[in-house]
A and B are shown apart, each in its own frame.
Chain A
């Protein structure tokens, strides 16, 4: 079992199935009916180094999404802000395995 929480508002849930954690967590941060991890995963600069000096390549620009890093903060490889033209990254979440998930394996 896993605890999922929104890094922005603190909204949380617990799930057994982690096949799509970005969709499993419902909170009020992003009112747009779209996948909340797809844009982040599609970021061409998401290789650990960000995309300094390079514009966001997300096709819809993500202009309706409000769940982003505040304007003025550095992009960490996909997490820009409302003031960054074309940035389409949504809501980062924290995944916490609960104790039952990390018991050492039996032989």
Chain B
């Protein structure tokens, strides 16, 4: 199991599968958040803000329900597009995280991306299928 998942979330899944604990509660929809500093499987990244990335709203944007398609050959791919349009120059985005919509949201997935910096008016679009979760990395 590598670092794709938040380890606390992975632990709750392991307890469900291996220990007989209740299944973890996941409040839909998942939300995609953009990070100006990447996190890890044990620590959150630094989320973009409407101040350093005008047009982005803290807390991210919904990935729809379901957020991912049926797993195929060990890979789950995002089911819907998520996009933002900059209304000013953005600080570089270097990572993404996927959080649920609980009252106190929980982080489930994280990853790095090649740095993206938007000019005012440009759009960052994560097309359907472009975000993948590979079972080999859990």
Interface residue ranges, A against B (CB under 8 Å)? 2, 7, 16, 18, 21-22, 37, 40-41, 43, 46-50, 76-79, 89, 92-99, 101-107
Please pick, from B123, B126, B129, B131, the residue contacting A7 in the complex, using a CB distance under 8 A. B123
Contacts A46-B87, A99-B77, A104-B109 known; 15 new A-B pairs at CB < 8 A:
A2-B114, A18-B115, A21-B119, A37-B119, A41-B120, A48-B50, A76-B121, A95-B122, A96-B126, A101-B114, A102-B130, A102-B131, A103-B134, A106-B2, A106-B3
Please indicate the chain B residues that have their CB under 8 angstroms from the CB of A41 in the complex: 89, 119-120
Complex Cα distance, B3 from A103, in Å, reads: 11
Q: How many chain B residues have a CB neighbour from A under 8 Å?
A: 43
Can you identify 21 A-B contacts, CB atoms within 8 angstroms? A37-B119, A41-B89, A43-B88, A46-B87, A46-B88, A46-B120, A48-B54, A89-B120, A89-B121, A92-B85, A93-B122, A94-B124, A94-B125, A96-B125, A99-B131, A102-B96, A104-B133, A105-B95, A106-B2, A106-B137, A107-B3
Contact B87 A99 (CB under 8 A): no
Of the candidates B2, B38, B54, B125, which one forms a contact with A95 in the assembled complex, judged by CB atoms under 8 Å apart?
A: B125
Given contacts A104-B133, A106-B3, contact A78 B116 (CB under 8 A): no
Q: Judge if B110 is at the interface, Cβ distance under 8 Å.
A: yes
In Å, the complex CA distance between A94 and B126 comes to: 10
Complex Cα distance A74/B2, Å? 47
Q: Determine how close the nearest CB of chain B comes to the CB of A40; give it in whole angstroms.
A: 4
Complex Cα gap A47–B2 (Å): 39
User: Which residue of the partner chain B has the closest CB to A95?
Assistant: B124
Q: What residue in chain A is nearest B7 (Cβ atoms)?
A: A107
Complex CA distance for A66 and B107, rounded to whole angstroms: 44
B46 interfacial by beta-carbon distance below 8 Å = no
State whether B110 touches A104 (Cβ < 8 A): yes
| Residues of chain A lying within 8 A (CB to CB) of residue B55 | 48
Say whether A105 contacts B119, CB under 8 Å.
Answer: no
